[in-house]
Amino acid sequence: MDIDVSAWLNLALRWLHLIAGISWIGASFYFVWLDNHLRPAKQPKAGMGGEVWSVHGGGFYHKQKYLVAPEEMPEELHWFKWEAYTTWLSGFALLVLIYYVSADVYLIDRGKVILSQGQAIIFGLSMLIAGWLIYDGLCRSSIGQNVILFGSIWFAVLTLAAYLMVQVFSDRGAFIHIGAVIGTVMVGNVFLVIIPNQRKVVDTLAAGGDPDPKLGQQAKQRSVHNNYMTLPVLFTMISLHYPMIVGHPQNWLLLAGISAVGVSIRHFFNLRHTGQIRYEYMAGGVAGFVAVMIYAATFQSAGRPVVAEADVTSANAQSIVIRHCANCHASAPTHPDFDAPPGDIALEDAAAIKQYANQIFEQAVATDLMPLGNETGMTDEERALLGQWIKSGAATQASISNRSGHAHE
C-alpha cells in the first residue's frame, strides 16, 4: 500500500484552515452585525450599552451589551479566540508545507531574484513580522485615532508590500504572502490585544475594581480593523485560481484594486446594519471591480516577441511543451516534487497538448505562471511561438479570446 503522506497532510490542513476560517469570519461578521443593531435597552442596567432581539432556529434570543462589563461577572463566560488561532496555525502550516519546504518550486522565481531556500524563507517571515510591527505601531500612534488617515496609510503599506514581494517571489508566492501578512495582523489583534484586554477587564472585576474603558476601546478598534481586512484576505485565498490577475504584469496593482473593492463593499454592509443605506459604496465597489477587469485586459502584456511564421510549427511548439512542461505534467513525472501530474494533466503527446491548449495559453503564454518559478528557463521567444501556434489552430480563436481565466494545474 502506497500512501502519499504529504498530499493527505496537505488536504487535512486545507480542510482545517477552511473550517476554522469560516468559523472565525462568521463570528466576526456576526458580532459586527450585533454591535450595529443594538438599540437602547427598555429596562437599562448600569453600564448597559444596548440590546437586540433576534430569532433563529425556532427560538428567540435576547442579547445585551455592556460598554465595559456588568456589575457582577457571570458564572460562565464564552470566549471567541480559538477560531482565529486555528485559522492562522493551519494557514501557517500550509505556508511551510507548500511554499517553504518546496521553495524551489513554488516560492523562488529565478527570473526575478536568485535566492537560496533559506534566504527566501527568511524574507517571507520578515515580511510577516514587519507587517505586524508597522500595523501595531500605527494603531498605537495618534494616526490610529483618525480612521480615514489610518486606513489610507495601512492600505498604502500593504500595496507597497505586495509590490516588493512580486519583485522577489514567484507571483503565486507573493500573493500567498500578502494574504499571510494580513492574516497575521488579524490574528495578532486577537492574540495580543483583544483577548489580553478582555482578560484584564475580567481580572479587574474579579478583584472588585473598575476596568479601564480604554481596554474595551482598543479591542473594539482592532476588531473593526479585522472586519474590513476580511474580504481582501479572502480574495488572496482564491486568487491563485485566476491567472489573469496573479500572472498579470501589474498583478500587485490589481490586488490593491480588488482589495479596495472589498473594503467598499464591506463598508456598505456595515452601514446597512445600522440602518444607513448608502448605495454609493456598493456602486463604487462594482465600478471598481469593472475598472480592474478593464485595466487587466487592456494592459495584459507589453507583448511577446514576434516569431517568424516559418518557425511556428507543431513540431517546435510541441518540443517547447515537452521541454518545459512534461517534467511535471507526465504520467510519471521526473520532477522530484511530483508523484503524479498536477491537475491530472499529462502533456506527453500532440493530442494531449492540443486538448489542453487553452490552459497552456493561460498559464504559459498570457502569463508567466508556468513553469513554476520558471525553473526550466522558458524564454519569451518560446512563449511567443507557443502562443502563435495555439492561436493558429491548436485551439479555436473563440476559445482563446473568451477564456474564463480559471487555472488548471
The lowest-confidence range among 250-254, 320-324, 359-363 is 359-363
What confidence category does residue 191 fall into, taking pLDDT thresholds of 50, 70 and 90? very high
Residues 239 and 170 in one domain: yes
Q: How confident is the model at residue 300 (pLDDT cuts 50, 70, 90)?
A: low
* pLDDT score, position 167: 94
Nearby residues of 47 by Cβ (< 8 Å), 6 or more positions away: 66, 67, 68, 69, 70, 71
Assign residue 237 a region: left if phi > 0, alpha if psi is -120 to 50, beta otherwise? alpha
Checking if the pLDDT of 221 tops 70, the result is: yes
The reply to whether 252 and 313 lie within a common domain is: no
Domain, as residue range, for 372: 309-401
Residue ending a domain, choose from 275, 298, 321:
298
Tell me, yes or no, whether 55 lies in a domain.
no
| Total tally of structural domains belonging to the chain | 2
pLDDT of 186 = 96
The answer to whether the beta carbons of residues 170 and 372 sit under 8 Å apart is: yes
Please report the pLDDT score of residue 304 as a whole number: 67
pLDDT at position 100 is 95
**Whether residue 360 sits in one domain with residue 246:** no
Distance CA 253, CA 299 (A): 12
Q: How far is CA 318 from CA 312, 338, 353, 391, in A?
A: 10, 22, 7, 14
Average pLDDT (182-205) is 92
> Which pLDDT score, from 0 to 100, does residue 303 have?
60
Same-domain status, 242 and 364: no
In terms of domains, do 287 and 382 share one? no
Question: What is the reported pLDDT for 2?
Answer: 67
pLDDT of residue 137: 96
Quote the CA–CA distance of 160 and 180 in Å, as a whole number.
15
Say if residue 166 is in the same domain as residue 315.
Answer: no
Specify the long-range contacts of residues 58-67, CB closer than 8 Å, at least 24 apart: 63/34, 65/34, 65/35, 65/38, 67/213, 67/216
Query: Residues 201, 144: one domain?
Result: yes
In a domain, 396, yes or no: yes
d(CA 361, CA 335): 22
pLDDT band at residue 404 using 50, 70 and 90 as cut-offs? very low
Residue 105 lies in a domain: yes
* Interval 242-252 mean pLDDT: 88
247 vs 256: CA distance, rounded Å:
15
Predicted pLDDT at 183: 96
Q: What's the average model confidence in pLDDT over 51-62?
A: 89
Residue 394 has pLDDT above 60, yes or no: no
In a domain, 304, yes or no: no
- pLDDT of the residue at 6: 79
Are both 294 and 319 inside the same structural domain? no
Binning pLDDT at 50, 70 and 90, where does residue 381 land? confident
Identify whether residues 113 and 192 lie together within a single domain: yes
Q: What share of the chain in percent tops pLDDT 70?
A: 94
pLDDT for position 403: 42
**Of the ranges 64-73, 279-288, 342-351, which one carries the lowest mean pLDDT score?**
64-73
Burial (CB < 10 A; 0-12, 13-18, 19+), residue 111, is middle
pLDDT at 331 over 90: no
Q: Please report whether residue 233 resides in a domain.
A: yes
> Are 80 and 148 within one domain?
yes
**What pLDDT shows up at residue 398?**
36
Look up cell 524563507; give the residue: 121
Please tell me the predicted confidence (pLDDT) of residue 405: 40
Is pLDDT above 70 for 164?
Answer: yes
* CA-closest candidate to residue 176, choices 89, 129, 235, 231: 235
Region 39-47 average pLDDT: 82
pTM: 0.81
List of residues 6+ apart from 277 with CB closer than 8 A: 271
The predicted pLDDT at position 153 comes to 97
Q: Which of 99-113, 209-223, 230-244, 290-304 has the lowest mean pLDDT?
A: 290-304
Q: Give the residue with greater pLDDT, 361 vs 302.
A: 361
Examine the domain organization and report whether 176 and 262 are in the same domain: yes
Residue 42 domain-assigned?
A: no
170-192: average pLDDT: 95
Whether pLDDT at 347 is above 70: yes
Torsion-angle region of 275 (φ positive above 0: left; ψ -120 to 50: alpha; else: beta): left
pLDDT of residue 330: 85
Q: What is residue 301's predicted lDDT score, i.e. its pLDDT?
A: 52
Q: Which three cell numbers stand for residue 169?
A: 517571489
Q: Cα–Cα distance between 261 and 253 in angstroms, integer?
A: 12
Any bridge partners for residue 51, and if so which?
39, 64
Minimum mean pLDDT range among 28-37, 40-49, 243-252, 257-266? 40-49
**Listed residues 298, 332, 355: the one ending a domain:** 298
Residue 17 lies in a domain: yes
3-class SS string, the chain: CCCCHHHHHHHHHHHHHHHHHHHHHHHHHHHHHHHHCCECCCCCCCCEEEEEEEEECCEEEEEEEECCCCCCCCCCCCCCCHHHHHHHHHHHHHHHHHHHCCHHHHCECCCCCCCCHHHHHHHHHHHHHHHHHHHHHHHHCHHHHCHHHHHHHHHHHHHHHHHHHHHHECHHHHHHHHHHHHHHHHHHHHHHHHHHHHHHHHHHHHCCCCCCHHHHHHHHHHHHHHHHHHHHHHHHHHHHHCHHHHCCCCHHHHHHHHHHHHHHHHHHHHHHHCCCCCHHHHHHHHHHHHHHHHHHHHCCCCCCCCCCHHHCCHHHHHHHHHHHCCCCCCCCCCCCCCCCCHHHCCCCCHHHHHHCHHHHHHHHHCCCCCCHHHCCCCCHHHHHHHHHHHHHHHCCHHHHHCCCCCCCC
In a domain, 58, yes or no: no
How big is the chain by its Cα radius of gyration, in Å?
Answer: 25
Mean per-residue pLDDT for 37-59? Answer: 85
Residues 231 and 313 in one domain: no
